[in-house]
Amino acid sequence: MTVPTELDLRFRETAARSGLLDAAYDVIESELGPLLAAVTDHGLARISFDPEPERELEALARLAGPRVLRTPRALDGTRRELDDYFAGRRTSFDLELDLRGLTEFTLRVLGELAKVPYGRTETYAELAARSGNARASRAVGMVMNRNPIPIVLPCHRIVGSSGSLVGYGGGLERKERLLRLEGAML
């Protein structure tokens, strides 16, 4: 038996309001295609370009706890800021982030990454240097590749020393589109 949409949504919203969820997620439509976004009590925990939730949900359950449920309402704030960003109305995000479970090094690199301003790029080596180890560009590259909250933590602004885009967790095409949106590439 299929559960009527209205009843299904009603349960999801009650569940979100009950405070019983470890994480709430939704699939958000964007310029770059569907994005899976997830929030916990601590803040935005995940943005993924892979809208097939299966794997992401398992990872979320490991991070936050097993009570993971799709609840569109819980993502309203995130959706609004992402919409504004893609419409060019927003150049930075005011979202709380949940960065639990990351290593100290990763947190340091992501902290420095967050300071790279809208519309600007920086090289892996520069970011490594600012994170305290100029020779750690490869490690910095790994951190970018595993960035749990791309777009909001702007790993798309980190490029190779020759100016080439190098790589992106969501694919180079998405990286290029983000940089064009921000006016960083002509």
Partner 1 sequence: MASVPPFETFYAEHAGEVLRLLRRRLGRERADDAFQETFLRALRAYDRLGHAEHLRSWVLTIATRVAIDAHRRAGERTDELPDVPHTDGRPAYEELAFLTDTLPPKERAAVVLRYGYDLDYDQIAAALDSTEEAARQAASSGVRRLRRRIT
**What residue ranges bind partner 1 (CB under 8 A)?**
1-3, 7-8, 10-11, 14-15, 18, 20-22, 25, 53-54, 57-58, 60-61, 65-70
Instruction: Using the minimum distance from each CB to partner 1, give the nearer residue, 35 or 109.
Output: 35
Is residue 155 flagged as an active site residue?
yes
Q: How far apart are CA 93 and CA 44, in angstroms?
A: 11
Structure tokens at 66: 């097993």
Cβ 5 to partner 1 shortest distance, Å = 12
Instruction: Using the minimum distance from each CB to partner 1, give the nearer residue, 100 or 120.
Output: 100
Candidate list 36, 155, 178, 179, residue with the active-site label? 155
Alpha-carbon dihedral angle through residues 169, 172, 176, 182, given to the nearest 10 degrees = 0
Instruction: 67-70: list long-range contacts, CB under 8 Å, 24+ apart.
Output: 67/20, 67/21, 67/22, 67/23, 68/21, 68/22, 68/23, 68/24, 68/25, 68/38, 69/12, 69/15, 69/16, 69/21, 69/23, 69/24, 69/25, 70/12, 70/24, 70/25, 70/26, 70/27
Cβ 159 to partner 1 shortest distance, Å = 35
Instruction: Using the minimum distance from each CB to partner 1, give the nearer residue, 11 or 42.
Output: 11
Residue pair 31/84 in contact by the 8 Å Cβ criterion: no
Cβ 14 to partner 1 shortest distance, Å = 6
Cβ 70 to partner 1 shortest distance, Å = 6
Instruction: Using the minimum distance from each CB to partner 1, give the nearer residue, 69 or 185.
Output: 69
Residues annotated as catalytic are 155
